[in-house]
Amino acid sequence: MTMSQGSGPIYHNFINGEWVPAASGEVFENRNPANTEDLVGYFAKSARTDAERAIAAATRAFDHWRLVPAPKRAEILYRAGQMLVDRKERLAREMTREMGKVLEEARGDVQEAIDMTFFMAGEGRRQHGQTAPSELRDKFAMSIRQPIGVCAVITPWNFPMAIPSWKILPALVCGNTVVLKPATLTPLSALNFVKVLEEAGVPPGVVNLVTGGGGDVGNTLLEASAVNVVSFTGSTEVGRTVSTKAAPSFKKVHLEMGGKNIIVVMDDADLELAVDGCVWGGFGTTGQRCTAASRVAVHRAVYQAFVDRYTARVRELKVGDGLDASVQMGPSVSRGQLETVMQYVGIGKGEGATLACGGHALDKGAYAKGFFHEPTVFTDVHPQMRIAQEEIFGPVVSVIPFDSFDEAVAIANGVEYGLSASIYTRDINLAFRAMRDLHTGLFYVNAPTIGAEVHLPFGGTKNTGNGHREAGEAALDVFSEWKSIYVDFSGRLQRAQIDTE
């Protein structure tokens, strides 16, 4: 799998059960965003040829894998889940080193992959169809799930093991084969996950890993006629391109894209609890979550009290290398992401929002070798300001005042995304109204906008997605097709809707 080159190891692609270099022999670097002098390793800089080889391997493997009984496919996943448990600490540390999130969160990322592995293994015995009474005598009616074929899985950098698990595991347990293209910023965690699947006994060609850029590898996956399903997580802009490129061949496309999530704090809320949730929701993973609470709408009756407590807590957050147990917020994942954060801070100032705390890149002393930024809060934000409308994907939160519940609902729904929302209130009636009226795929009461669990559907409305869901039983719908079956045992022709007597 690896070789040594200079000061770091070389990691290969995984195609047809073998770890192989890119056809060109080229590699790209992966460095620690908390310390760019720390070289994580070199990874295969793949191109069209490599992606085509992986697709061909997955196509060949499908003919055998689809016939393996689903409970037997699940046994492999159970073994993989236990391997992840055994290796959790090492995998988490390697994830923090390549992605930057604090170690506690990296452990949570690996745990999510563990949870998903065991959950989807259980689906090996639960891919239930329906039986229904026929409208005709001596006729049996039922439906079953069937695999679709080769699945292209394109994953982002912020949850570099959890998100691949969300996609690969339901695909496998349904009987499909997979080609995974992970984000170039975090290939090691995806590679580690695939290595576990290999060791657990997934047959050659069933899971393939190709590292490299979206232009070369990604476009090949989107355009190949042999690929039947594309599952993508990333920005709405790129998701639109994915949808367009996959459309001519009528591939099944699952998109999980952006979010501009909100926490609504009512005047009867437990303010300390709300502050806890808003700090964690806004600055967990350095705000680099599609579910991050980048907007907080606060009732004007408690607005100043909330702002005072919230900004005091945010100022206390310790920023640094995520491998340091005392650190609460790590770096941005890359220089480009840091520059985006800095750009939006400038936009917020220009729009007239009040910079309540933070607002600066950290580039001195211990921060000089990484991509760090202060946790930043803008207050007195108008809901139509760009910082309250556009996804920043960084440690920047906009606090918006409101006067009534109806106004809060309008603010919450007044963005192009619809992933996650939350309300803090002691009023059960308002909680249920909010559950009904906020147009999102995820909703929380007295909890922040982050914290989804693997046994419920995950996904959003509007420009966040295209109607499919990950996780839970709903994930099977992305990676399987329904077949309705009718068995006529009457021994004569019976015509549905015609022979009604």
User: What integer pLDDT is reported at residue 2 of this predicted model?
Assistant: 53
Residues 55-78, mean pLDDT to the nearest whole number: 98
Return mean pLDDT, the chain.
96
Q: Where does the pLDDT of residue 156 fall: very low under 50, low under 70, confident under 90, or very high at 90 and above?
A: very high
User: What integer pLDDT is reported at residue 240 of this predicted model?
Assistant: 94
- Indicate the residue type of 436: R
pLDDT in tens, 460-481: 999 999 999 999 999 999 999 9
Residues 166-183, mean pLDDT to the nearest whole number: 98
pLDDT in tens, 23-33: 999 999 999 99
Spatial separation of the C-alpha atoms in residues 5 and 354, rounded to whole Å: 49
User: What integer pLDDT is reported at residue 180 of this predicted model?
Assistant: 98
Q: What is the CA 457 to chain-centroid distance, rounded?
A: 12
Q: Is 57 left (phi over 0), alpha (psi -120 to 50) or beta?
A: alpha
Spatial separation of the C-alpha atoms in residues 307 and 233, rounded to whole Å: 33
pLDDT of residue 63 exceeding 60: yes
Active-site residue set: 256, 290
User: What integer pLDDT is reported at residue 436 of this predicted model?
Assistant: 98
User: What integer pLDDT is reported at residue 501 of this predicted model?
Assistant: 74
Query: What is the model's pTM?
Result: 0.95
Residue 89's Cβ-side half-sphere holds a number of Cα atoms within 13 Å equal to: 1
User: What integer pLDDT is reported at residue 500 of this predicted model?
Assistant: 81
pLDDT of residue 458 exceeding 80: yes
| Cβ-based neighbours of 406, under 8 Å, separated by 6 or more | none
Contact call for residues 158 and 109 (beta carbons, < 8 A): no
Domains of the chain: 2-257+465-484 (3.40.605.10), 262-445 (3.40.309.10)
Q: Where does the pLDDT of residue 1 fall: very low under 50, low under 70, confident under 90, or very high at 90 and above?
A: low
pLDDT of residue 124 exceeding 70: yes
pLDDT in tens, 302-349: 999 999 999 999 999 999 999 999 999 999 999 999 999 999 999 999
User: What integer pLDDT is reported at residue 144 of this predicted model?
Assistant: 97
User: What integer pLDDT is reported at residue 6 of this predicted model?
Assistant: 57
Spatial separation of the C-alpha atoms in residues 318 and 330, rounded to whole Å: 9
